[in-house]
Amino acid sequence: MSASRRMLATIVAIAVLLPTSGRVARAQDAGARIEIKAHGFGVPELTVPLGTTVTWINHDDDPHTVTSTANVFRSPGLDTDETWAYTFTRPGTYEYFCTLHPLMTGKVIVRSGS
Amino acid sequence: MSERVDVDRRGFLKCMAWTGTGLLWSVSGGVLSSRPIGAGAAEAAESPGAPATFSFAQISDTHIGFKGEANRDSMATFEAAVARIRALDPKPAFLIHTGDITHTQKAGSFDIAREGLRSAGVERTFWVPGEHDVYADGGAEYLERFATGRPGRGWQSFDHGGVHFVGLVNVLTYKAGGLGNLGAEQLEWLERDVAGLSSSTPIVVFAHVPLWAVYPQWGWVTDDAAQALGYLRRFGSVTVLNGHIHQIMQKVEGNVTFHTARSTAFPQPAPGAAPSSGPMKVPAETLRDVLGIREVTYAPGRDRLAVVDASLA
C-alpha cells in the first residue's frame, strides 16, 4: 500500500469513526476527499470551510457522477479511479447525486467562518 | 425493512432467476410452461409453415467500453453475442437493443455498437436508451443518432406481423433519490398510441429499466410503470422486455409477462446479494454462462410469445 493510499484509508477510517454521518474538514486541510465505493459517497455529509476544494475519487467498476441537484456543479462521468474536484467559493448547503445511480446522494455544507 | 423480510424477498427473487435459466418459457392466460432450450423456437411456434410466424432477437446492456474486472474483454463477448444472433435460424425479423448500449458514452462507442449489430445480418435494430447512454449529456447524442423524427424524447411504436411493439424511454428524468421514470408526456402518448387497438392485438413493450419492482433498494424499478401498465391491462397478451439488471428474471401478472435480459458485458448480483448492484466478478471460465442474448417467437393465433434465452457459453 502506498503512503497516499494509507493516508486515504486513514481519512476514511476517521470518517467512519465519527459519531454522525458527517465529517468536518479542518481549516488547515489542504482539501477534502470523498471516496466513492460500492455505490456510495464515502462521506455522505461533509462540512468544510469556505474556499475548500473537495475531490471525489471513484473506486467502483461502474462510472459515477457528482451532480448538484440545484445545477451548481456537474462532474463528467468518472470511470474507475478517476477523480474530479470542485472548489466551494460560496457558503451554503450543496446537495448532489449520481446521475447514473440516483439513489446515491451526498451533501457538502460550506461554512463562511474560519 | 427487517432482515427476515429482506432475506425472504431475496430468496424468492433468486429462485425466480434460477428457474428461468436454460429453459424456453411460454405463457398462455397467465400460466407459464417451459421446456429445455434445445427444443428450439421454431418447434415451439408449432406452425413453421405459417407465413406470419416470425421471431426477433433482444440484445441488452452491451456496455461498449467496459474494461472492469468483471470482464476485461467486453468486446470479445459482444462479438460472441453478435455471432449468436447471426447464427439464429430462422433469421430474426429484427433486433431490439434494450439499452446501456455504451458504458460511459465515450466517443465512438455508439458507432461500435451500431456497426457490430449491422454485422449480425439482421435488417433493422430498434433501440431504447439506458442511463449509461444519456447521463453525460442528458441524451443529446443518443436522441440525435437513434431517435430523429420520433415523437417526444425518443419513444416509439411500430407494428410487425400483427404484433404492436412499443419502445419506452425510462432513463431521461433521473433525479436525486429517484428511480426509472416514464413521465407524463410519454404516458399520455402511450395511452393515445394503444387507444385504437383491438384488445386481441398482442403487445410487446421494451424499455431499459424494469417496468416491475424487481428491487427498489437498488433502483431496479420504474416509479410510474403502473400507469403505463394500466393502459395495457385490457390486452390479452402483453410481453414486457427489459434490461438493466444483467440477469434473467420473469414475472407474470394477469396477461402481462415480464422478462429481464442478460447483458453481453458483465453480470450483476442477485437482488440484495452484494453490498451494491455493481458489476459482479465470476470465475473466468463461467463468465459466458451468465452473458447472453434472447430470441422471441410469435405465432399467429396463439396469444403467447415463446421467449428463449441463450447464453454465450
User: pLDDT value at position B106?
Assistant: 93
Average pLDDT over residues A77-85: 95
Which pLDDT score is estimated for A99? 94
Rounded-to-integer distance, Cα A94 and Cα A25, Å: 15
At B142 the three-state DSSP class reads: helix
Instruction: Give the span between the Cα atoms of B126 and B92, in whole angstroms.
Output: 13
Q: Which of A40, A61, A77 is facing B135, going by the closest CB pair?
A: A77
Residue A21 — pLDDT band, cuts 50, 70, 90?
A: very low
Measured between alpha carbons, how far is A6 from A26 in angstroms, rounded to an integer?
A: 20
Which one of B177, B217, B279 has the shortest CB-CB distance to A62?
B279
CB contact under 8 Å between A100 and B131, yes or no, is yes
Residue B32: the pLDDT is: 35
Instruction: Tell me how far apart the alpha carbons of residues B201 and B262 are, in angstroms, rounded to a whole number.
Output: 27
Q: Which residue of A has its CA nearest to B68?
A: A61
| Residue A62 touches chain B, beta carbons under 8 Å | yes
Confidence of residue B174 (pLDDT cuts 50, 70, 90): confident
pLDDT-derived band at B41 (thresholds 50, 70, 90) equals very low
**Is the pLDDT confidence value at A86 over 90?**
yes
Contact B93, B54 (CB under 8 A): yes
What percent of chain A is helix, strand and coil (3-state, nearest 5)?
Answer: 15, 40, 45
Question: What is the C-alpha separation between B232 and B219, in angstroms, rounded?
Answer: 23
For residues B74 and B264, the answer to whether their CB atoms sit within 8 Å is: yes
The pLDDT of residue B283: 97
Confidence of residue A92 (pLDDT cuts 50, 70, 90): very high
- B212-230: average pLDDT: 96
Per-residue model confidence (pLDDT) at position A30? 60
| Contact between B273 and B247 (Cβ < 8 Å) | no
Task: Kindly state whether A103 is in contact with chain B, defined as any CB-CB distance less than 8 angstroms.
Answer: yes
pLDDT of residue A93: 98
Answer yes or no: do A101 and B219 touch at CB < 8 A: yes
Q: Which residue among B70, B105, B176 sits closest to A102, beta carbon to beta carbon?
A: B176
Q: Which residues from chain A sit within 8 angstroms of residue B279, using beta carbons?
A: 61-62
The dihedral built from the CA positions of residue B66, B95, B238 and B23, taken in this order, carries a sign that is negative
The alpha carbon of residue B159 is apart from the nearest alpha carbon of chain A, in Å, by 32
> Does residue B71 carry a pLDDT above 50?
yes
Cα dihedral B132, B138, B139, B141 sign: negative
CB A94 within 8 A of CB A54: no
Taking Cα atoms as reference points, which of B60, B61, B155, B93 lies closest to residue B305?
A: B93
What mean pLDDT do residues A48-68 have? 96
Q: How confident is the model at residue B155 (pLDDT cuts 50, 70, 90)?
A: very high
Give the 3-state secondary structure of residue B189. Answer: helix
pLDDT of B241: 98
What CA–CA distance (Å, rounded) separates A57 from A20?
A: 22
Whether residue B51 is preceded by a cis peptide bond, meaning omega within 30 degrees of 0, is no
Task: Using a cut of 0.90, tell me whether the model's pTM lies above it.
Answer: no
Confidence of residue B76 (pLDDT cuts 50, 70, 90): very high
The verdict on a CB contact (< 8 Å) between B178 and A102 is yes
- pLDDT at A88 > cutoff 70: yes
Residue-wise pLDDT tens digits, B228-264: 999 999 999 999 999 999 999 999 999 999 999 999 9
Percent above pLDDT 70 for chain A: 73
Q: Residue holding cell 407494428?
A: B159
What does the pLDDT average to over A48-55?
A: 97
- B163 closest CA partner among B55, B20, B29, B258: B55
| CA B151 – CA B228 distance, rounded (Å) | 17
pLDDT band at B114 (very low <50, low <70, confident <90, very high): very high
Cα B147 to the center of its chain, rounded Å: 18
Confidence band (pLDDT; 50, 70, 90) for B301?
confident
- Residue contact B278–A38, C-beta within 8 A: yes
Average pLDDT (B278-285) is 96
Instruction: Give the Cα separation of B231 and B194 in Å (integer).
Output: 8
Which helix (DSSP H) or strand (DSSP E) does residue A58 occupy? strand A53-58
The Cα–Cα gap between A80 and A57 comes to 8
CA distances from B93 to B47, B109, B228, B259 (A): 17, 25, 26, 20
CB contact, 8 Å: A74 with chain B? no
Q: Of the ranges A5-14, A24-33, B253-262, which is most confident?
A: B253-262
Task: Tell me the C-alpha distance between A36 and A82, whole Å.
Answer: 10
Query: Residue A12: is its pLDDT beyond 90?
Result: no
For an interface test with B, which of A62, A79, A98 has the most B Cβ atoms less than 10 Å from its Cβ?
A: A62
How many A-B residue pairs are in contact by the CB < 8 A criterion?
62
Q: Which amino acid is at B87?
A: A
Average pLDDT (B127-156) is: 93
Backbone torsions φ then ψ of B305, nearest 5 degrees: -105, 140
Quote the mean pLDDT of chain B. Answer: 86
By mean pLDDT, which of A76-90, B6-20, B220-234 is the weakest? B6-20
Q: Of B103, B39, B100, nearest to B71 (Cα)? A: B103
Q: Which band of pLDDT confidence, cut at 50, 70 and 90, is reported for residue A57? A: very high
Residue B175 and residue B244: Cα distance in Å, rounded?
Answer: 17
pLDDT at site A4: 53
Q: Are B248 and B260 in contact (CB under 8 A)?
A: yes
Q: Which residue has the cell 402481462?
A: B256
d(CA A10, CA A17): 10
B113 or B7, greater pLDDT: B113
Could you give the 3-state DSSP secondary structure of residue B273?
coil
Q: How confident is the model at residue A22 (pLDDT cuts 50, 70, 90)?
A: low
How far out from the chain centre does Cα A71 lie?
17
Residue B31 has pLDDT above 50, yes or no: no
Cβ contacts of A82 on chain B, cutoff 8 Å = none
Check whether the bond before B216 is cis (ω within 30° of 0). no
Band of residue B212 on the pLDDT scale cut at 50, 70, 90: very high
Give the separation between CA B266 and CA A45, rounded to whole angstroms.
32
- Give B113 to chain A, closest Cα distance, Å: 19
Mean pLDDT over each residue of chain A, to the nearest integer: 83
**pLDDT value at B149 more than 90:** no
